[in-house]
Amino acid sequence: MDFVTRCFAARPLRGVANWELFFGSELAVEMAGASKSSIHQVEVSYRDELLNTQEPDSYYALMNMKEREFEFIFSDLLSVKVCSPDFHKGVIARGEGKLVRVNVRKV
């Protein structure tokens, strides 16, 4: 898969995730509560479709097939699912997206 999304994210002060608050602009990350010094540009890329296990340092997202980008990026699958009233089942059934595990790295 050649899907890659560049966005901005913050390094959390505490917690288990290395990254949080994924948005398209630095301002949006800051408005979500991150300090300016914790914000970095990151690259999100496809990892695999094994969604039945929760691994440390794993991230999950909805792969938008139309826009060819990742949306709703979180360190746990449940957080991705609850971003949609039907847990993205309609989008998946129409072939417009799928839930996947992704890699996140600082650019």
pLDDT tens for the chain, 107 residues long, are: 578 999 999 998 776 678 999 999 999 999 999 999 999 999 999 887 766 666 666 899 999 999 999 999 999 889 999 999 999 999 999 999 999 999 999 99
Burial of 51 (0-12, 13-18, 19+ CB in 10 A): middle
Q: What are phi and psi of 62, to 5 degrees?
A: -95, 125
3-state helix, strand, coil in the chain (%, to 5): 20, 40, 40
Predicted confidence at residue 13, as pLDDT, reads 76
Predicted confidence at residue 47, as pLDDT, reads 84
Distance, C-alpha 81 to centroid of its chain: 11
CA distance 92 to 13: 34
